[in-house]
Structure 1
Amino acid sequence: MLGTTQGFLRAIGEARLITPLRSEGGHRRYSRYQLRIAARARELVDQGTPIEAACRIIILEDQLEEAQRINAEYRSAAESSAPPSSA
């Protein structure tokens, strides 16, 4: 589906970038979100980034996105609770 090997998926799992669920038979099961993360890792690795660095970049990108989302929520809440300005 992603054009990656099982070894690559295991490697990003070992780097704790993704943790797949397991079926009763022991097969790895990935969510759509995890597949998007794996695709991003594959993209970085294909560009020459070492796998460990690619995993760290993705984690930092995810943390930045979350921080920006929270910041936007705080700004929105502050704007809605601010008293109206007089013109």
Structure 2
Amino acid sequence: MRNNIDKYDIMQLTGYSKTQAQRLMRQAKAVMVADGFDWYSGKRISRVPIQAVEQILGFKINPENDIIDDVQVPSTVIGKDSFNDGKQG
């Protein structure tokens, strides 16, 4: 199993566009730097730990079988019914 992924892996595993994958990579690198891993502040670092991307996306990526599993607890997800509770009418 791969522990590090790049933007092309993100595109393949999630179906996001190149721009979205690049944005995810930048955010993941920022998360790693904030966690104290200054190595990821380098401009030419093109791979990040898969856990950093999963933390941003909110779901688990399984690169072995190209399967994506949820990591969010259902009680933390806001349903569209909760938006209608505050409306009058």
Task: Compute the TM-score of the two structures, normalised by the length of structure 2.
Answer: 0.38
Higher share in strand: 2
Taking structure 1 as the reference length, the TM-score comes to 0.38
Higher relative contact order (Cα pairs below 8 Å, separated by 6+ residues): 2
